[in-house]
Structure 1
Amino acid sequence: MNPVVKETIERCRQAGLRRTKALEELISTLLESARPMTLTELATSKRLTEQCDKATVFRLLQRLAEHSVVRRLGLHERAAYFTLLVPGKHSDYLICTSCGSIEPIKAPCPVHQLEDEIREKTGFRNLYHELEFFGVCPKCA
């Protein structure tokens, strides 16, 4: 089993979630995905179709989001996308306000330096940020 999957499952157990095959497969699917995935994409993925139904995937995602194991992305009136939150790994996203597509930003995050400064000045611990940029993608423009 992938070490990141193991660590994530341990975080889930510490949060009081039961370790199930569906949980393991959901975490593995999100980890292997190059981009955030929708509930439908996850529920119909090879790994999860044999493990559970769409309602179970939805409930798992809700619990994982409540415990900051996954991040929910997207516009509220459109399908939500989910991505695994891995300590020490960070992604920022571009979200199209027209079609709702989401893609990771392939550039250094400009906020890390500001985050360090805020941490030093305020004394906040475990400080993190989630950065999303909204606009119209080239296909919709």
Structure 2
Amino acid sequence: MSQNLHQETLTRCSDLGLRRTKALKELISTLIEANRPMTLAELAASERLSDQCDKATVYRLLQRLTEHGILRRLGLHERAAYFTLLQPGKHSDYLICTECGKIDAVSAPCPVHELEDEIREKTGYKGLYHELEFFGTCPACA
């Protein structure tokens, strides 16, 4: 696990007024170690969190962290939501299967960075960022 990423994320949480509870620390650690988007059910059942708190507590934490821009919610609205850690200066784009809900990170260079720079320059927006989600049918479901 990246100790720096863990500490930086906890510092961001503190700066936003979030309490550094044991459950918060374990949730962040679990997401960093998994290095992939995870569902509420996966997180609540994880080794680090299952003894620490109940599913409702994990849900409330996920909602709070998403509202504060620490986590990103992914997925189709009628399916289970996936959560992933947002890291300043780094972003990921995702492929989401409309049949099974599987989520994969896109491993190609992002084509939107130049457009983002152009929009920032023309509009004067600060802190501009984007998130891309591509939807389709995965090879297993096709």
TM-score range, shorter chain: over 0.9
Separation in 2, partners of 1:131, 1:23: 27
The equivalent of 1:18 in structure 2 is 19
Which residue identity does 1:13 align to in structure 2? S
Which residue identity does 2:37 align to in structure 1? P
Kindly state the Cα deviation for residue 102 of structure 1 after the two structures are TM-superposed.
0.5
Identical columns (%): 73
Moved more, 69-78 or 3-12: 3-12
The equivalent of 2:63 in structure 1 is 62
Alignment of 1:1-141 (within 5 A): 2-141=3-142
Aligned-CA RMSD value: 1.0
Which residue identity does 1:122 align to in structure 2? T
Moved more, 120-129 or 30-39: 30-39
Structure 2: runs of 5+ lacking an equivalent: none
Task: Describe the SS at the equivalent of 2:10.
Answer: helix
Task: Describe the SS at the equivalent of 1:82.
Answer: strand
Separation in 2, partners of 1:121, 1:111: 15
Structure 1: runs of 5+ lacking an equivalent: none
Which residue identity does 2:60 align to in structure 1? R
Q: TM-score, normalised by structure 2?
A: 0.96
Separation in 2, partners of 1:73, 1:13: 24
Kindly state the Cα deviation for residue 89 of structure 1 after the two structures are TM-superposed.
1.4
